[in-house]
């Protein structure tokens, strides 16, 4: 039965009483008139709400609720009453949006006992949309019921969110969040492939836009946000993957529906739904298990490539820019500043085109007094990339992206004074890590340190002058140390590892659970960075010697990669022992103290400590260098003095700590440069 619309008119008190009485008795005509002429008096508004709620029961249609004794005609009339009831409920919420808080509170008292019933009715309408919504002009009856329910929930939350918050246990809000998630999943069930959608942008406003709006409201509201995150944490792997698939589906469908035919059309396109979809996915990705599900589906690659496809479209934010910048700033860096998320997401984003978007935003003309990158939520993305570039996976992806930049982009950077300044600072800050990595990965490079035994007299790896790569075996219990021979393992077991193995195993398992464990190959690369950093340090300060400052001899140095750009420092032995990134002593264990003591007692050796940060972890490295001058032409009248250095010993470890600084006591060597000179 099609719904009739009645012109709004002012009803007298007696007419209103008659109308309410007829509506209460199930008169569809009176229900329609009441919906179109909602009472403005709170007394009658409360009664009207109660009448419409009374027609929303769906018990007769629920399987397992017992046999229905109604005829088909009666059941058909009941369906019409449900439709009328939903229309009246919508009218009630529209009226409450324009009335005072006191009246809304009174309406909530009527509505509160019926929350579960209303949600059951909305579920019923969504599941049987093709039957119930056949008379909705301009809407796809297969999906209209689900989207209509999402619209109703949005209005319900707008009206009653403050009152739901005050409930003990917030049971109603939990039910509402469950409904929103069901609606979100229902939106893709049985839907055609997103690339084949025939929806127009206008139809997209009717479905699935209400689903986006309801989900975002649920995420954005302080009262419902913890609830939906708790629900997502409770999902099993299959459900998490299905949730990730829904975001992938909506992204592809949105791009298919809204693909502009020309640049002029792109400049007029509203991309707020795409931005909302990305933002919602990242807010839910605060749940680690869902982040992993998104990562497995390559969702970040999909949305970033979509944003690049729509890069001519403007952002809807007040700060302006392109939608590509808006999307990229939501993806980078990930919402959770965690080692696993960063080491997983950042390489993927770089491979998908993140660097190109960053540069586009850098060279885009800015309004006066606007700093570059003011559109990025977390600040300068180039600085953040530079600070992360010590991680091998991130560094490899970063320089692959740099080397893939077209010449036109590099020319555009050079043409802008501000862009050129930022770019050169960024390149200089990553060059040290990049050149160190290249050296570590070079085929003819012998690993600097392969054996963790501290006894240099017995270690074959340190005595050998061969270029053959020695084979090493890790401790079979903790996997945190490696040795070149059984003799070295036995010696180190007696000296140190017997006492550290259990703790090292525990720390390794903790790191693995957080995705922060460094493989033996990754540790070799960090040793390469340590070695190259020391070489850079020596080039900066001149010929090798112990340096004296304020009557203290310095042969120990620190490379602080936490600030931007990085800085070098000179240390005493006591100062190195006090280095505490984030409040945790980094080198206060027996192995570190042994290496530091050897360097302190023998002037042939110098020490370098490096501290990097990624997420909630710090990567700390300690290296012992043998370091002296040699005459390349002995006996010649004109000596040719060269420097010789060798990384004799050291180790790399990961420690968990709160964000901090390199150490409590530091003596800065001001003339040191933070990157190699030309």
What are 386-409's pLDDT values in tens digits?
999 999 999 999 999 999 999 999
Q: What single-letter DSSP state applies at residue 448? A: S
What are 180-190's pLDDT values in tens digits?
999 999 999 99
Higher-confidence residue: 465 or 293? 293
What token pair was written down for 329?
Answer: 């700033």
Phi, psi of 464 (to 5 degrees): -65, 135
What is the band of 677 on the pLDDT scale with cuts at 50, 70, 90?
A: very low
CA gap 339, 342 in Å, rounded? 5
Higher-confidence residue: 372 or 22? 22
What is the band of 136 on the pLDDT scale with cuts at 50, 70, 90?
A: low
Q: What single-letter DSSP state applies at residue 674? A: S
Taking residues 599-628, report their average pLDDT: 87
What is the band of 6 on the pLDDT scale with cuts at 50, 70, 90?
A: low
CA gap 146, 152 in Å, rounded? 10
pLDDT value at residue 581: 86
CA atoms within a 13 Å half-sphere pointing along the CA-CB vector of 271: 34
What are 646-662's pLDDT values in tens digits?
888 888 989 887 544 44
- Asked if residue 417 has pLDDT above 90, the reply is yes
Taking the model in full, what pTM does it have? 0.87
pLDDT value at residue 634: 73
What token pair was written down for 408?
Answer: 């036109």
Instruction: Give, for 430, the enclosing helix (H) or strand (E).
Output: helix 417-441
- Asked if residue 467 has pLDDT above 70, the reply is no
- Answer yes or no: are the C-beta atoms of 461 and 469 closer than 8 Å: no
- Answer yes or no: are the C-beta atoms of 414 and 427 closer than 8 Å: no
- Asked if residue 110 has pLDDT above 80, the reply is yes
Average pLDDT over the chain, rounded to whole? 87
What token pair was written down for 112?
Answer: 């509160």
- Answer yes or no: are the C-beta atoms of 375 and 361 closer than 8 Å: yes
What are 188-203's pLDDT values in tens digits?
999 999 999 999 999 9
- Answer yes or no: are the C-beta atoms of 94 and 152 closer than 8 Å: no
- Domains of the chain, by residue range, sit at 1-127, 525-678
Percent of the chain with pLDDT over 70: 85
What is the band of 60 on the pLDDT scale with cuts at 50, 70, 90?
A: confident
């Amino acid at each position: 039965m099609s719904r009739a619309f009645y012109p709004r008119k002012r009803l007298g008190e007696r007419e209103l009483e008659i109308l309410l009485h007829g509506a209460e008795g199930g008169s569809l005509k009176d229900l329609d008139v009441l919906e179109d002429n909602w009472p403005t008096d709170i007394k009658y508004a409360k009664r009207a709400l109660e009448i419409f709620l009374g027609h929303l029961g769906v018990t007769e249609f629920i399987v397992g609720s017992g046999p229905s004794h109604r005829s088909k005609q009666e059941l058909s009339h009941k369906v019409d009453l449900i439709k009328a009831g939903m229309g009246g409920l919508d009218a009630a919420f529209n009226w409450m949006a324009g009335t005072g808080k006191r009246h809304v509170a009174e309406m909530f008292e009527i509505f509160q006992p019926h929350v579960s019933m209303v949600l059951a009715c909305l579920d019923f309408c969504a599941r049987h949309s093709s039957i119930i919504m056949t008379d909705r002009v301009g809407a796809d009856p297969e999906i209209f019921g689900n989207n209509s329910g999402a619209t109703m929930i949005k209005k319900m939350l707008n009206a009653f969110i403050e009152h739901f918050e005050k409930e003990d246990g917030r049971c109603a809000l939990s039910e509402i969040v469950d409904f929103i998630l069901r609606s979100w999943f229902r939106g893709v069930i049985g839907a055609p492939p997103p690339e084949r959608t025939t929806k127009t942008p206008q139809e997209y406003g009717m479905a699935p836009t209400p689903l986006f709006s309801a989900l975002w409201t649920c995420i954005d509201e302080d009262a419902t946000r913890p609830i939906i995150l708790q629900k997502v944490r409770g999902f099993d792997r299959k459900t998490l993957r299905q949730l990730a698939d829904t975001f992938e589906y909506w992204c592809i469908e949105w791009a298919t529906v809204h693909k502009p035919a020309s640049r002029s059309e792109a400049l007029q396109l509203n991309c707020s739904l795409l931005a909302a979809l990305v933002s919602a996915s990242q807010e839910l990705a605060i749940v680690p298990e869902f982040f992993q599900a998104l990562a497995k589906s390559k969702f970040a690659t999909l949305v970033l490539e979509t944003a690049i496809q729509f890069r001519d479209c403007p952002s809807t934010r007040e700060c302006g820019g392109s939608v590509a910048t808006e999307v990229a700033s939501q993806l980078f860096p990930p919402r959770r500043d965690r080692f696993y998320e960063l080491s997983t997401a950042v390489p993927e984003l770089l491979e998908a085109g993140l660097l190109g978007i960053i540069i586009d935003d850098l060279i885009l003309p800015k309004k006066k007094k606007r700093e570059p990158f003011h559109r990025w939520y977390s600040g300068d993305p180039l600085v953040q990339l530079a600070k992360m570039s010590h991680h091998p996976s991130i560094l490899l992806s970063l320089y692959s992206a740099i080397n893939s930049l077209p010449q036109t982009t590099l020319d555009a950077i050079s043409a802008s004074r501000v862009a050129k300044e930022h770019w050169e600072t960024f390149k200089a800050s990553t060059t040290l890590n990049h050149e160190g990595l290249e050296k570590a990965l070079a085929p003819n490079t012998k690993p600097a340190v392969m054996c963790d035994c501290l006894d240099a007299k017995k270690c074959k790896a340190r005595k050998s002058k061969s270029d053959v790569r020695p084979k090493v075996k890790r401790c079979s219990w903790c996997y945190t140390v490696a040795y070149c021979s059984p003799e070295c393992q036995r010696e180190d077991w007696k000296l140190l590892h017997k006492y550290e193995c259990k703790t090292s195993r525990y720390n390794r398992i903790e790191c693995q659970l957080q995705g922060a464990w460094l493989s033996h190959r990754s540790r070799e690369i960090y040793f390469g960075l340590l070695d190259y950093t020391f070489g850079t340090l020596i080039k900066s300060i001149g010929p090798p010697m112990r340096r004296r400052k304020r009557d203290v001899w310095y042969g120990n140095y620190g490379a602080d990669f936490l600030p931007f750009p990085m800085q070098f420092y000179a240390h005493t032995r006591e100062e190195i022992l006090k280095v505490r990134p984030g409040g945790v002593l980094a080198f206060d264990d027996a192995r570190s103290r042994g290496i530091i003591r050897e360097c302190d007692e023998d002037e042939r050796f110098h020490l370098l400590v490096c501290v990097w940060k990624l997420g909630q972890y710090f990567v700390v490295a300690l290296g012992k260098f043998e370091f002296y001058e040699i005459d390349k032409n002995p006996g010649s009248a004109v000596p040719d003095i060269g420097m010789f250095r060798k990384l004799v010993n050291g180790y790399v470890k990961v420690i968990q700590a709160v964000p901090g600084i390199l150490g409590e006591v530091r003596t800065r060597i001001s003339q040191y440069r933070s990157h190699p000179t030309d």
